[in-house]
């Protein structure tokens, strides 16, 4: 699933390919699942003829600011396999999915939104599995879902003292909350998903089932530094997984049916907050008693993310079976 590094790379791609240009033509697919409360004509009327002023991102959301301050702007969530393709410039990169596998094909297969801009630039929002979402909102940053997001872990990571205070305040309401579940809570911090969460905890040497309330100041300092380091490096490398440091857990965490090893240490998997977490028991030791996560009221967004996770795991199993054959 696209996480902050992939969406930030898409934002920067949009900045290079779209900002300052006028949208001359809009083609939106008739897809009620991807386009929430907006018909193809609604999308065309909102975007056609407008100039792109800026591209913005918070957490895993991306939106375009247009030259109509009181108008509707497009807000995108990539879901499980969504992404941006800018013709002759680049595409969102994933470990297993190539959104622009045929450079001579335009629009790319599975395109949901196509923009033709002045000067010949062409942009497409592509979504293979249809878990992505496109909304039209006035001033998206002031409305849900953006207004409910916690601090962005790239642009808004608090100083250490404030970070520790934020964790303490959050776990005071849910003393049994596990640290992996806290990292995945977009209302606490936005942008971390499953692979970033696993990498952050691996590098901080914290077990994903560790109670967040049990972590001391030194462990939280290591956690904050790991968040900063992992996210910053992934963004600097444009979310190109082939360029990620070879010592990262990322390269070894994708096969839950055949757990591998990293530097001679076995990788295991555990379910935390309905998500499958990879960790290295020899390095990430559970300190103290296991504590069950406090129950949190499930939202529609939570259910959708769980559905995406289940789809992702099923896809991984199918690919593993193909490799065995």
The answer to whether the bond into 137 is cis (omega within 30° of 0) is no
Q: What pLDDT does residue 54 have?
A: 98
Q: Which two tokens stand for residue 182?
A: 């806290």
CATH architecture of the domain with residue range 4-148: Alpha-Beta Barrel (3.20)
CATH fold of the domain at 151-279: Helicase, Ruva Protein; domain 3 (1.10.8)
Phi, psi of 65 (to 5 degrees): -90, 125
**Is the CB of residue 237 less than 8 Å from the CB of residue 244?**
yes
Q: What's the whole-model pTM score?
A: 0.88
Q: Which residues are part of the catalytic machinery?
A: 2-3, 60
* Domain ranges within the chain, ordered by starting residue: 4-148, 151-279
Mention every residue, 6+ apart, whose C-beta is less than 8 A from residue 84.
10, 13, 14, 62, 91, 92, 123, 124, 125, 126
pLDDT of residue 97: 61
Q: Which pLDDT score, from 0 to 100, does residue 319 have? A: 41
pLDDT at 317: 43
Kindly list the distances between the CA atom of residue 29 and the CA atoms of 34, 83, 107, in Å, as whole numbers in the listed order.
9, 15, 12
Using alpha carbons, select from 238, 235, 56, 227 the residue that is nearest to residue 158. Answer: 227
pLDDT in tens, the chain (325 residues): 799 999 999 999 999 999 999 999 999 999 999 998 899 999 999 999 999 999 999 999 999 999 999 999 999 999 999 999 999 999 988 765 666 667 778 999 999 999 999 999 999 999 999 999 999 999 999 999 999 999 999 999 999 999 999 999 999 999 999 999 999 999 999 999 999 999 999 999 999 999 999 999 999 999 999 999 999 999 999 999 999 999 999 999 987 777 789 999 999 999 998 899 999 999 999 997 544 434 444 444 454 555 555 555 544 444 443 333 3
Phi/psi at 273 (nearest 5 deg)?
A: 60, 40
pLDDT at residue number 322: 38
């Amino acid at each position: 699933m696209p996480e902050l590094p992939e969406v930030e790379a898409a934002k920067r791609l949009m900045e290079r390919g779209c900002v300052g240009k006028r949208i001359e033509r809009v083609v939106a697919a008739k897809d009620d699942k991807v386009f929430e409360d907006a018909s193809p004509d609604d999308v065309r009327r909102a975007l056609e003829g407008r100039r792109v002023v800026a591209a913005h991102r918070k957490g895993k959301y991306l939106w375009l600011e247009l030259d109509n301050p009181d108008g509707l702007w497009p807000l995108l969530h990539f879901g499980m396999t969504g992404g941006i393709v800018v013709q002759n410039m680049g595409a969102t990169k994933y470990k297993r999915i190539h959104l622009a596998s045929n450079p001579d094909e335009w629009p790319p297969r599975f395109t949901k939104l196509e923009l033709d801009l002045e000067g010949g630039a062409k942009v497409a929002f592509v979504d293979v599995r249809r878990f992505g979402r496109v909304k039209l909102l006035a001033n998206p940053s002031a409305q849900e879902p953006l207004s409910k997001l916690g601090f962005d872990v790239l642009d808004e990571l608090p100083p250490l003292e404030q970070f520790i205070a934020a964790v303490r305040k959050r776990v005071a309401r849910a003393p049994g909350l596990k640290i992996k579940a806290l990292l995945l809570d977009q209302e606490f911090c936005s942008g971390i998903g499953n692979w970033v969460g696993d990498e952050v905890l691996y590098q901080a040497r914290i077990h994903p089932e560790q109670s967040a309330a049990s972590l001391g100041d030194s462990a939280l300092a290591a956690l904050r530094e790991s968040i900063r380091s992992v996210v910053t490096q992934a963004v600097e490398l444009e979310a190109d997984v082939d360029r990620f440091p070879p010592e990262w857990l990322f390269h070894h965490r994708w096969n839950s049916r055949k757990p591998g090893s990293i530097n001679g240490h076995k990788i295991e998997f555990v379910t935390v907050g309905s998500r499958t977490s990879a960790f290295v028991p020899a390095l990430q030791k559970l300190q103290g008693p296991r504590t069950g996560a406090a129950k949190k009221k499930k939202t529609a967004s939570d259910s959708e993310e769980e559905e995406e996770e289940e789809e992702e795991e099923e896809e991984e199993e199918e690919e593993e079976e193909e490799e065995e054959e």
